[in-house]
Amino acid sequence: ERSFEVRQKHYSEFMGALEDAWNAVGRKNRQDLEQALHQLAKSYYGLEPFMDGGSRLYLQKRIAMFHNLANQLIGYEQNKRGIIMEDKATMDRMTREFQEFLYPLLFEPKREEGEQSESGQAKR
């Protein structure tokens, strides 16, 4: 299905850009970080048509937080080692959260409101 291919393409570009940003921060390479953040923005716009207003707003806020954290981290000096490790853990967590939010939204079948499970209980 064409729609699936488009979602898959932009999703993989989005997740790849997150990883590229993380790697650029680790290497302290501002140019690579800027490229990764630019790719993140471009791939977001490819995903945008597949999201409702609330999902778009949530993702925009999370991208802004990730962007700010990455830029903050790349500017840290070596003597702030503890802060760097804590913030890198935050970047890791945010990457997982992006995946946990986007994957079901884009690739799991949508359930109709009131749809029942096999046990007869309403699915959530």
Domains of the chain with CATH codes: 2-104 (1.20.120)
pLDDT, average across residues 52-69: 94
Which phi and psi angles does 39 have, rounded to 5°? -65, -35
Q: Give me the pLDDT at residue 44, please.
A: 96
Q: Which residues of 28-62 are buried (b: 16+ CB within 10 A; e: fewer)?
A: eeeebbeebbebbeebbeebeebbeeebeeebeee
Give the span between the Cα atoms of 47 and 102, in whole angstroms. 9
Choice among 43-47, 70-74, 99-103 with the minimum mean pLDDT: 70-74
- Cross-strand pairs, 116: 122
Q: Give me the pLDDT at residue 117, please.
A: 44
Identify the residue with better confidence: 124 or 69.
69
Identify the residue with better confidence: 29 or 2.
29
pLDDT tens digits for range 17-33:
999 998 998 888 999 99
Q: Give me the pLDDT at residue 64, please.
A: 96
For residues 15 and 99, is the Cβ–Cβ distance under 8 A? yes
Please name which of 81, 83, 106, 99 lies closest in space to residue 19, comparing C-alpha atoms.
99
